[in-house]
């Protein structure tokens, strides 16, 4: 599960500082807008043809893409920074502006954007998905212009995947997911048939007795691109919150059915929001399910997620050549790792200065515990590489809610 743990703003020198961060492994990203960007200076307009709109200066029509440390736009290429208690690290960014993306949104009578032959202004809300598998989203402030025909032009967007929600004059809403590429002009017609899949999520095994508890959140991770969908943390549909924190009525069932819209494809189902819950199975209607993966066609489908409570924890100390193995790779490998229908996942941690490790929120089941001294330097994600370490690993059988302490001898890389 991926969450944003800390955020901050740069000062007038471009300096930033993230403090009080818990030990762990982190990736850092920065979002910014050029101070000279032309779209920032555009005034709100009225659909009056007698009032000409200010034209954009192409030399100033730039934006910054979301940039990951050490300076890449692909989160899978971002450097992971491991922090221990008392550590101080420096992560500098050099941002490169790119031509901004423009989105044109056509008026839609279904949204009440035209009444008596006249256009009625409507305003898009945009959320950019920037972190694959993220429980959080990034509400994107936009600059818009409306012409005499009611068409809305959105300026200054960075390339990426956005969910766009349109609210019309008749209180009707429309939602779409669009992929915007660098330097492009994209036109969105809310009246066009959607190519997305509407997924209804039903939860089996979640009690709604605790009305103040956090709701179960689901994220669908595209297995081809590694990109996360917009989490379905809004009961009653919509798939995701807009403009900050999700809101839920007091007394609403945290396990109530939800809906979300995603492009057709193959996805990994990831639970978020309630760490103690885990998947025991998925039943699909109008789709295919295998283990924790689902294949969603176009149209409508229903996923019943069978859940249970009581994750386990494994702690211990790793020793290498009679000394604590410091900064080693600790892996808890499911015995079913080669089974495509398995619901268990590989867990990992880095040992501390005393050789200790802590593998928390583990799905109950049978595992092999492996610690590799300087193991971060090997290709541990390659099954053939991993197998030669498993024969020297320690079998661990985890019951629901178990807290197991297991010391282990680290293996040479």
Please say if the pLDDT value at position 41 is more than 70: no
Q: What is the pLDDT, as a whole number, of residue 334?
A: 94
Mean pLDDT, residues 175-204 taken together: 78
More confident residue, 34 or 351: 351
pLDDT at 242: 30
- The residue that leads in pLDDT, 240 or 5, is 5
Residue linked to tokens 């080669």: 338
pLDDT digits (tens, 9 = 90+) for 227-278: 666 555 444 344 433 333 333 444 445 557 888 878 888 999 988 777 788 9
- Give the residue among 253, 247, 245 at the shortest CA–CA distance from 212: 253
Q: What is the mean pLDDT of residues 124-133?
A: 64
d(CA 214, CA 254): 7
Options 1.10.3470, 2.60.40, 2.40.128, 1.10.287; which CATH number does 197-309 get?
2.60.40
Question: For position 208, what pLDDT does the model report?
Answer: 46
- Per-residue pLDDT band for 116 (boundaries 50, 70, 90) equals low
User: 221-240: per-residue pLDDT in tens?
Assistant: 888 766 666 555 444 344 43
* Beta carbons within 8 Å of 379's beta carbon, 6+ residues apart: 385
User: pLDDT tier at 320 (50, 70, 90 boundaries)?
Assistant: very high
Task: Kindly state the percentage of the chain with pLDDT values over 90.
Answer: 29
What pLDDT sits at residue 218?
85
Q: Does domain 312-409 have CATH number 1.10.150.120?
A: no
DSSP three-state, residue 37: coil
pLDDT mean across residues, the chain: 78
Per-residue pLDDT tens digits for 283-309? 999 999 999 999 998 788 999 999 999
166 has a pLDDT exceeding 80: no
Lowest mean pLDDT among 34-38, 104-108, 334-338: 34-38
Q: Is the pLDDT of residue 213 over 70?
A: no
- pLDDT of residue 156 exceeding 60: yes
What's the pLDDT at 159? Answer: 83
Look at residue 301 in the predicted model and tell me its pLDDT.
Answer: 92
Looking at residues 312-324, what average pLDDT do you find? 95
Give the residue with greater pLDDT, 159 vs 133: 159
pLDDT of res. 227: 65
Instruction: Considering only residues 95 and 140, tell me which one the structure prediction assigns the higher pLDDT.
Output: 95
More confident residue, 158 or 252: 158
Contact 133, 176 (CB under 8 A): no
pLDDT tens per residue, range 334-386: 999 888 888 888 898 999 999 999 999 899 999 999 999 988 888 887 888 88
Q: What are the start and end residues of each CATH 2.60.40.1120 domain in the chain?
A: 312-409
Lowest mean pLDDT among 124-133, 314-323, 330-339: 124-133
User: What does DSSP say about strands 299-309 and 277-285: parallel, antiparallel, or unpaired?
Assistant: antiparallel
d(CA 375, CA 125): 45
> Which has more confidence, 266 or 114?
266
Tell me the HSE value of 206 on the side-chain side, using a 13 A CA sphere: 29
> What's the confidence (pLDDT) of residue 394?
96
User: Does residue 200 surpass a pLDDT of 80?
Assistant: yes
> What is the value of pTM for the model shown?
0.62
pLDDT value at residue 251? 42
The C-alpha atoms of residue 24 and residue 218 are separated, in whole angstroms, by 23
Q: What is the pLDDT of residue 133?
A: 46
Residue 314's pLDDT is what? Answer: 96
H or E stretch at 117: none
- DSSP letters along 206-274, please? -----TTSPPPEEEEEETTT--B-----STTSSSS-SSSS----TT--TT--EEEEE-SEEEEEEEES-
Exposure of 220 by Cβ count < 10 A (0-12 exposed, 13-18 middle, 19+ buried)?
buried
């Amino acid at each position: 599960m991926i969450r944003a743990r800390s955020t901050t703003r740069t000062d007038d020198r471009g300096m930033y500082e993230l403090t009080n961060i818990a030990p762990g492994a982190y990736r850092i990203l920065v979002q910014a807008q050029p101070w000279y960007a032309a779209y920032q200076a555009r005034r709100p307009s009225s659909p009056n043809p007698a009032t000409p709109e200010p034209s954009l200066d192409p030399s100033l029509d730039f934006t910054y893409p979301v940039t990951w440390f050490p300076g890449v736009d692909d989160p899978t290429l971002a450097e992971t920074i491991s922090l221990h208690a008392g550590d101080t690290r420096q992560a500098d960014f050099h941002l490169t502006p790119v031509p901004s993306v423009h989105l044109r949104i056509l008026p839609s009578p279904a949204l009440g954007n035209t009444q008596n032959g006249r256009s009625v202004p409507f305003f898009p809300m945009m959320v950019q998905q920037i972190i694959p598998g993220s429980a959080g989203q990034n509400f994107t402030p936009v600059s818009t212009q409306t012409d005499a025909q009611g068409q809305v032009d959105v300026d200054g967007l960075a390339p990426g995947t956005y969910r766009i929600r349109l609210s019309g004059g008749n209180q009707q809403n429309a939602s779409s997911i669009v992929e915007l590429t660098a330097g492009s002009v994209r036109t969105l017609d809310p009246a066009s048939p959607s190519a997305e899949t509407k997924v209804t999520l039903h939860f089996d095994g979640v009690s709604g007795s605790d009305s103040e508890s956090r709701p179960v959140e689901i994220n669908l991770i595209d297995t081809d691109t590694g990109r996360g969908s917009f989490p379905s943390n809004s009961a009653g549909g919509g798939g995701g919150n807009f403009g900050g924190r999700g809101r839920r009525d007091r007394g609403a069932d945290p396990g109530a059915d939800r809906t979300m819209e995603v492009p057709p494809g193959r996805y990994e189902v990831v639970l978020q929001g309630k760490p103690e819950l885990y998947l025991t199975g998925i039943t699909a209607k109008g789709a295919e399910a295998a283990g924790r993966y689902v294949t969603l066609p176009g149209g409508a489908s229903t996923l019943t997620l069978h859940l249970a409570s009581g994750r386990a924890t494994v702690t211990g100390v790793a020793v290498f050549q009679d000394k604590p193995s410091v900064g080693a790779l600790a892996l808890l490998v499911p015995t079913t790792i080669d089974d495509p229908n398995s619901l268990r996942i590989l867990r990992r941690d880095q040992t501390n200065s005393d050789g200790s490790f802590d593998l928390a929120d583990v799905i109950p089941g049978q595992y092999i515990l492996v610690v590799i001294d300087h193991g971060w330097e090997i290709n541990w994600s390659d099954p053939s590489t991993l197998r030669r370490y498993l024969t020297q690993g320690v079998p661990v059988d985890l019951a629901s809610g178990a807290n197991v302490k297991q010391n282990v001898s680290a293996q040479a890389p």
